[in-house]
Amino acid sequence: MPSVHTEADKLVRRSKLFVPVNREKFVARAWTRGADCIILDLEDSIAPADKASARKMVKEVIQIVSKGGAEIAVRINREFEAEDLDAAVVPGLHVLMIPKCESGEEIQRLDQMVTQLEKERDLPEGKIQFDLIIETAAGVVKVESITKGSPRIVQINIGQGDLSVDMGFPRLLELNFDQYFYAESRLLYAARAARVQACGLGAQNNVDFTSVFMGEEAMLRACRHAYLLGYRGAAIIHPGWCSAVNEGFKPSPADLEMARKVKAALDEAYARGEGSVSVEGRMYDVANIKHVLYILERAHAVAHREAQKAAALATTGSKS
């Protein structure tokens, strides 16, 4: 049977842990947390007076935080694009996180800037990816064109905090769904149409991704809810959430077991010349096999990513 994976589906970047690039305590342990991706932050978590000195740390810090096999992102400041890109586009960088995106044209311009830096530094052209954040009403209404602004784009998120400011929303947990449903839903469909991954926890009441007191079980439930809606990862601020986020953004054990049963039953049915089969009292046919294959292939991609991180940790441990 053919694969139903798109290139976007193959990407496994579930937990994306923010680490202020100039906080030595956080940097030193970031690689041990199990995150799929570590975001070295040059934006919100860096004080204005410290921006310049923080940039100088990026190249060295990348070497530290990548020891556990995490992919490395850098979140830039839009008001300091040239300076931040100059510091970030170095060996070891996988993805640039670009906040406050409002048009496809600006993404094209940033693509050109990165391409020029890749050429100048003998880096593979086009390999550095983009992870976009939509944080304004202007960005929401243009999200379709934004997602098509560059082939570098692999993930896109709604920044609910800044969007609430732009919209004048009071940030009440019981209003999360009502306030963000439109923006999050539009993002989901725009991302899928552009064949990139939507990320985030979506529009869920009583979920506060900014609270470090949110327990692992609550985070796991929120991530599983988001996964079932079509999201494939989330940026997080608490290192203790990495395990729950990794678990939440993958097929559940029950779904994986059922997918294997259905595939085996349909394979046998097809061999008999039959187009449908009953499994545990429900009928399955060719339309269902596409979803079954998606679950199995997603689980395979996740297992491969986990193996990569385990190998990196084993290598790091053997050197210590």
251-284 per-position pLDDT tens digit: 999 999 999 999 999 999 999 998 899 999 999 9
Amino acid in position 49: A
Q: What is the pLDDT of residue 39?
A: 98
Reply yes or no on whether the pLDDT at 146 is more than 60: yes
> Is-above-0.75 flag for pTM?
yes
- Could you give the 3-state DSSP secondary structure of residue 229? helix
Q: Any idea which of 7-21, 53-67, 117-131 has the lowest mean pLDDT?
A: 7-21
Strands (DSSP E) contained in the chain are 15-20, 37-41, 71-75, 95-98, 129-134, 153-158, 197-199, 234-236, 276-279, 282-285
What is the pLDDT confidence band of residue 74, given thresholds at 50, 70 and 90? very high
* Average pLDDT of the residues in 139-153: 97
What is the pLDDT confidence band of residue 190, given thresholds at 50, 70 and 90? very high
Q: Is 172 or 60 the better-scoring residue by pLDDT?
A: 60
Contact between residue 205 and residue 177 where contact means Cβ atoms under 8 Å apart: yes
* Average pLDDT of the residues in 181-194: 97
* Average pLDDT of the residues in 214-241: 96
Strand partners, 199: 157
Reply yes or no on whether the pLDDT at 90 is more than 50: yes
* Average pLDDT of the residues in 215-240: 96
- Closest C-alpha among 91, 85, 87 to residue 115: 85
User: What is the share, in percent, of the chain residues with pLDDT greater than 90?
Assistant: 89
* Average pLDDT of the residues in 207-214: 84
Q: What is the pLDDT of residue 8?
A: 74
pLDDT digits (tens, 9 = 90+) for 279-302: 999 999 988 888 999 999 999 999
Q: What is the pLDDT of residue 320?
A: 54
Reply yes or no on whether the pLDDT at 126 is more than 50: yes
